[in-house]
Structure 1
């Protein structure tokens, strides 16, 4: 049995671990970002997955790294710590300015020579991936959003009430720093939510993946985004799956990677 923090055993066959190289990039608004480039074969530069982690996570957390390593079976992986997280500089804006960070990851993947670049985000990273695909000039070849909120200010679960305590209360902000997150000031202007912009992602292929047992954002968020996409996206509601990277199984990562690979080709996007 797998716990929610463990994607489980990879397979019974021998697998060569990917090459993992530290990378650095700078966002459009001049924030230095540190992360990892994973590849099973340095000579293969067809497909890259640019992965955006969730709030309080970073790319070297064991359960995040296991997800990155699984994606690396299907292509190259570029994953940067979002600002205010891990080894990156700057202060977290909890999804607003982090669109620049994901764009920096996409640019880095292209600079590394990858022909097709797709994005996949988890939780906060999923909201960032949706807004990047909808609003940024250099769009990915396909995008997957896993465990994404559809809107801001969600307080209808115990888990999200804890998150808002971290964000809004003085003691909470100190606790966030203890968790490794350096928070910026509250938003002065509320950015458009994923629900408000998801219709702009088409014709870029869009996959929305959500656990039926997600304890942060219920499945209604995924259904609302799927409706708002106007038929331009595909929805997977996964039984017995909870929230974001810590809930991922090897099989689910493989399915997402295969979907992104197929749909990012000229033939698969038709």
Structure 2
């Protein structure tokens, strides 16, 4: 799909990988709507790229529907959906004091990362399939965000790995489900990227993390994620695929 002139939605677009993706789509001519709970940061990025920022809780059907309505009113029907919003946590199954990990923590991560992403997909897909087809019969494309932790999760990452593993596993059936409408779906599984969260770590810790990456021996740049996400949109044959973007990293147990 040619990005120029298309309306695009980016969940989690206020910072990190989402902001970089919003910038790349805008650079290629898309009309970008940033869907994020952090409206202050979202509006800052939106002003920079000539887009709009909408407050959105991806786990809430009403919130997502309202955001989709507002984005469509401003930019027209969206054919490009970037699902990048997510949260992380790390808690051992059995805590240091011998108590079990709180179930609420596990449920929250699954609800945001997996269920929230699916919520956006189902609501946006119902709109996209009703659009007129473009060249080659294509109507739209979803790009979801998993993680290298979906495959080599570390100690304490049960919730995060389960949520991202669910997204990876959902990719092929999602692509098969939507193929009849000319809608594609792919997932990016990033490794260690220099997001605002990692940037807060001491420099020595950042360097230690970077040293574990075979090549390039540095943390990934958010712009590299955005470039891949946009490239997936433009390459019609990319469908039903989970793409690791990690410099050949295979994470150790801890």
TM class by shorter-chain length?
A: 0.3 to 0.5
TM-score (norm 2): 0.42
Normalized against structure 1, the TM-score is what? 0.40
Higher relative helix content: 2
